[in-house]
Chains A and B, each alone.
Chain A
Amino acid sequence: MRRLALAALAVVALLAVAGGLLAPHDPLAQDPDLALHAPTWAHPFGTDYLGRDVFSRLLAGTGTTVAAAVESVGVGLLLGVVPGLASLWLGRGVEWVLLRAVDALMTLPFIVFAVAVTGILGNGLTQAMIAIGMLFAPLFFRVTRAAGLALTRAQYVEAAELFGASRSRILRTHVWGKVLPTVAVTAAQATGGALLAVSSLSFLGIGVQPPAPTWGGVLASDLGFLAQQPWAPVIPAALIALTVAALNTLADDRGTLRVAR
């Protein structure tokens, strides 16, 4: 399973770097005569409502999609895990402020927040991903805190304190290894969510601008033509699902945990 997952992710990574070059057609080239065409040798995944080659769009869109997802999850990790650990080890004052901040963040509606952030930072993929990442932060914060909370009272942590170990050393040697698996699993799951979020924002014209291809964008456009091509959404959806499954498999794998340690 682990090998399979690694192989799948390697393919995705390869496509992310070289997908555009491998695409047999121009992902933006429209051909009205071929609109909503079933798969053929020339168009293995068929064409969309503008007659664009879906296969090429998926290949070319991989880079943007993966970059966007990684970016948002990265922002979420940074803004969630670090404060999560800080809330456990920097005293009650810090804990209180962080918990309230997270509560406030969680009440914000997703779309409105993204619109507001891009309104402030300017429209662009990076800005939109920062917005999504900020909304992931509470998830990572909660998960990190939950995993770490029991550890603050663990006897082996007390024992390390009795040796005079600093907080950062305790975090490094006793806490990180136990929090990491949970964070890794959450990150894998969040990546899946991010893949989808990219598309829903594209819908509103936030982040990725419409003609540029992304997996989520392809899925969204396919969903609009279910009556004509009921099978079409399966292809991008399967791609997203496989990538997420590969990430989850790797996150759950014990070998990964050992490497992570």
Chain B
Amino acid sequence: MNALLDIQDLTVEYDRHRVLDGVSLAVRAGEILGIIGETGSGKTTLARAVAGLAPVRGGRIAFDGAELTALRGRALRAWRRTGALQYIFQDPLRALDPQHTVAAAVGEGLAVAGGRRPGEIAEQVAAALTRVGLDPALASRRPGEISGGQRQRVLLARALAVGPRLLLCDEPVSALDASNRNHVLRLLAGLRNTAGVSVVVITHDLSSLAGIADRVAVLYGGRLVEHGPIQDVLTAPRHPYTALLAASSPSVRREHPVPAARLRGTGDGMTHPGGCVYAVRCPFATAECATAPELSSVDGDRAVACHHAGTWRARLGAGAGDLAEVPA
């Protein structure tokens, strides 16, 4: 399948601190990819790097075949003005200029791109607001005068106005209640379905993510530890960390096929520079984990980076008490 966004061996460092380490990932045209992982896993950095907001130290990012990491200055601005790739910030209150009206915010991309009369921009702003389910009458308000859910949709409208082919959404729903969360995710799914827009969503909420996403990528400690079709990955995780995330997801039914407690390590595991990033927390870590596992394909469309991808589940049957005593 052809990839719209192709990330190869991406490494990002802030002040010599490696935040993202050799991540390779593709986003296909018209798909929704979820990215999950904890604070500090590098998921936001990954999205920011693609948008050109993080210091890339190695690797390449290609959008529809065009190399992005080499773009600078005028060429970078020209590429950005195409609007093909849009990054949606996590906190709409910070991402919107408090002095600008909703109309100015949503129309900003169009105004920057140029070549449109003010009347055209106003029309497109109204259309974008309608598309995200907002009343175009909100256009004259400022960010401080609308609700959190509305602000989030203003951010979305602002990205949609420029006609993107790929949306990168950084935790678009974590500040919202369940109903508003579903509303925003539904909008994203609708965009994919009607306009063929590819979407990357970073979120904590696995259950609603599974409702709309096609694939999921799991990051831990700056590395990609697992990716594949979301239903498969969450139902039968191959990486112990993915399994922990899935088991930790709260459920109104309180049904957890595997209790999260049995997937938690003692935290006293070994730390090996250059070893598996998850080993220190992993209840299944062995001496082998002192070397970093490569991301390798399993089941065709899936990939996992774990030495014990095929065997840890069998040891789970031994019971939580035994698991803690597996010699490192």
Contacts and interface: CB of A to CB of B under 8 A. Distances in A.
Interface string A152-186: 00111011111111100100011001100000000
Nearest to B158: A159
Contact of B78 (A156, A160, A162, A164): A164
Contacts of B86: 162
Interface in B26-78: 51-53, 76-78
B94 A163 contact: no
Interface stretch (B95-103, B171-179, B219-227): B95-103
A173 B104 CA distance: 10
Max count, chain A CB within 10 A of own CB: residue among B89, B96, B97, B100 = B97
Contact of B113 (A164, A173, A177, A178): A164
Contact of B89 (A155, A161, A166): A155
Contacts, number: 58
A12 B81 CA distance: 49
A165 B97 contact: no
A93 B272 CA distance: 41
A140 B228 CA distance: 56
A162 B53 contact: yes
A162 B52 CA distance: 8
A159 to B, nearest CB: 5
Given A155-B89, A169-B112, A162 B80 contact: yes
Interface secondary structure of B, over-half rule: helix
Contacts of A162: 51-53, 80, 86-87
Contacts of A165: 77, 108, 112
A191 B29 CA distance: 61
B14 interface: no
A164 B97 contact: no
B99 A177 contact: yes
Given A164-B77, A164-B112, A155 B99 contact: no
B80 A163 contact: yes
Nearest to A156: B97
A159 B159 CA distance: 10
Nearest to B76: A164
Contacts of B87: 159, 162
Interface centre among A162, A166, A169, A261 (most CB of B within 10 A): A162
B222 to A, nearest CB: 22
Q: For chain A, which range describes its interface: under 10, 10 to 19, 20 to 34, or 35 or more residues? A: 10 to 19
Nearest to A166: B77
Interface residues of B, number: 27
B162 interface: yes
Given A164-B78, A164-B81, A165-B112, A156 B53 contact: no
B91 interface: yes
A156 B112 contact: no
Contacts of A174: 97, 100
A104 to B, nearest CB: 31
Given A155-B94, A166-B77, A177-B99, A160 B89 contact: no
B89 A163 contact: no
Contacts of B81: 163-164
Contacts of B94: 154-156
A210 B51 CA distance: 65
Nearest to B161: A163
A115 B57 CA distance: 54
Interface in A113-162: 154-156, 158-162
A163 B108 contact: yes
Contacts of A159: 87, 89, 95, 108, 158
Given A163-B80, A163-B83, A164-B81, A158 B112 contact: no
A135 B76 CA distance: 40
Contacts of A158: 53, 89, 95
A261 B52 contact: no
A164 B109 CA distance: 8
A85 B94 CA distance: 22
A53 B77 CA distance: 65
Given A158-B95, A164-B77, A173-B100, 13 more contacts: A155-B89, A156-B94, A156-B95, A156-B97, A160-B108, A162-B52, A162-B86, A163-B109, A164-B76, A164-B80, A164-B81, A165-B108, A178-B99
29 contacts: A154-B94, A155-B95, A156-B100, A158-B89, A159-B89, A159-B95, A159-B158, A160-B108, A162-B52, A162-B53, A162-B80, A162-B86, A162-B87, A163-B80, A163-B81, A163-B108, A163-B113, A163-B162, A164-B77, A164-B79, A164-B80, A164-B81, A164-B112, A165-B77, A165-B112, A166-B77, A173-B97, A173-B100, A173-B108
Interface of B: 51-53, 76-81, 83, 86-87, 89, 91, 94-97, 99-100, 104, 108-109, 112-113, 158, 162
Please name the 6 residue pairs, one residue from A and one from B, whose CB atoms are nearest each other, closest first.
Answer: A164-B80, A164-B81, A164-B77, A156-B97, A163-B109, A163-B112
